[in-house]
Amino acid sequence: MKPGPLLRALLASAAVAAASALASCDTDGTSAAVNGRHMQPLSDRMQGEIESKNMAKESPILVRIFKEESELEVWKQDRSGRFALLNTYPICRWSGELGPKFKQGDRQAPEGFYTITPGLMNPNSNYYLAINTGFPNAYDRANGRTGAFLMIHGDCSSAGCYAMTDEQIAEIYTLARESFFGGQKSFQIQAYPFRMTPLNMARHRNSPHMAFWKMLKQGYDHFEVTRREPKVEVCEKRYVFDAEASAKFSPADRCPAYKVPEEIASAVREKQRRDDIQTAELINRGTPAAPVKMGVDGGMNATFLTAVKSHGGHGASIRTAAGTIPPHVNPPAERESGAAGMGGVNAFSLASAESRLVPAPNSTVQVASAAPASSGGVGGFFSKFFGSKSEDQGTAATASQTSETSPSKSKRAAAAKPGQSAAAAPRPKLEQPAEAKASSTAKASASKEETNGEPQRNTASTTGALNGAAPTVPSGGFEGRFGAWN
């Protein structure tokens, strides 16, 4: 059901009211909600971009994050039913090293597949606006990972989060909000250590996280060949993509017998075969291996790093084309020469042959035996308007360790641009994806320093328009969506 003007106004009012009751990370009252940051319209520029790409502003979105490149992509479903890239945003700051988050306090930003419902949208954040990733998901929990309140937020400052400028998060938040108003019950965040290209797989071949990253690459490849959101399940503590099974998936138990539509399975196999050949060739040609530890605290996209350097360092507000860098932001420390581009210089960008998109699903591909399912949910006020279906993504593999601190920090405010209502687009047919791209070499500036993530109150429960963002999130229910912060 697509909400009319009256219902939209009611939803917005309820969100503001609930925001008063539920403080975000470290309580700043209702200022954000009162200021209406969460209800900003989309800019004329962004609306023009959407129209030029044959999309509707109400159509579903999908987000991909690449740590090493320090980039966040927003994809949007076009009128063909496939997802197409709408915009790439440079990430202002992220903390930790490449690799997944293991435990509270390790400062790692999460990697994996996360389902974002309206309840994970925080209009009352101390970091301008925030979207809770919902960490830990089913995969994380099955593997004993801990942590909470890991966000995409503004203020350019991070401890385990992905921090954008206020202007950027305003636009991203609005795109998400409009997709929810358009009928999308949840959208997917795919968080990767780097673009999963043959060159990057060759560079990082010595990482202890490689088994985990190969598993993430399967989901990456499913999206590349279909240009539709992969269905994510978890069983045997690992991720499974686009699986069809009569029994339910249970994150820690044996996988039930399942199959993957043959069009998808064969396209993914072909892409992986080509990528494996390229990776082996790159290693044989002497592609240098990246350091296992970069030795710096996270990264900052080159756009911002260059701006900070050109101003002689941080300490004053710096305006860039991608938004304002606040004076308190500390860029990562310079890395020793030889370390390749984690700070977002895109040093090793895409050296991957992308595969061909496939037509629609006819299944084939198999696997083991059964187990029960698990799902998590939050209910709430808005669910009476929009059905809510719970679905946790995730599942697993490999290890390492670190620890994340979630300090508190100063607040900022900056305006940005958002949008109008949104309606869900048709389920896309698999078509032909983009073909390979060559990549160059490089290094990027990075550095070490810390910044604050979005420490939030863990309202893992439910009631009301704005639910606390529970680590396990349901796939529907407008209720949780516009409230909830961890």
The residue behind tokens 């801990």 is: 146
CA distance 203 to 209: 13
Alpha-carbon torsion (255, 256, 257, 258), positive or negative: negative
3-class secondary-structure state, position 191: strand
User: What distance in Å separates the CA atoms of residue 210 and residue 143, rounded to the nearest whole number?
Assistant: 16
Q: Which residues are catalytic?
A: 153, 161
CB 358 within 8 A of CB 222: no
User: Identity (one letter) of the amino acid at 129?
Assistant: L
Measure the CA–CA gap between 379 and 462, rounded to whole angstroms: 6
In this structure, what is the dihedral angle of CA atoms 319, 320, 322, 323, given to the nearest 10 degrees? 0
245 CB neighbour count, 10 Å cutoff: 17
How many CA atoms are closer than 13 Å to the CA of 121, on its beta-carbon side? 34
Q: Return d(Cα 28, Cα 105) in angstroms, integer.
A: 23
Among candidate residues 255, 470, 286, the one with its CA nearest the CA of residue 379: 470
The SS3 of residue 266 is helix
- Please give the C-alpha separations between residue 30 and each of 15, 136, 258, in angstroms, as whole numbers: 11, 27, 47
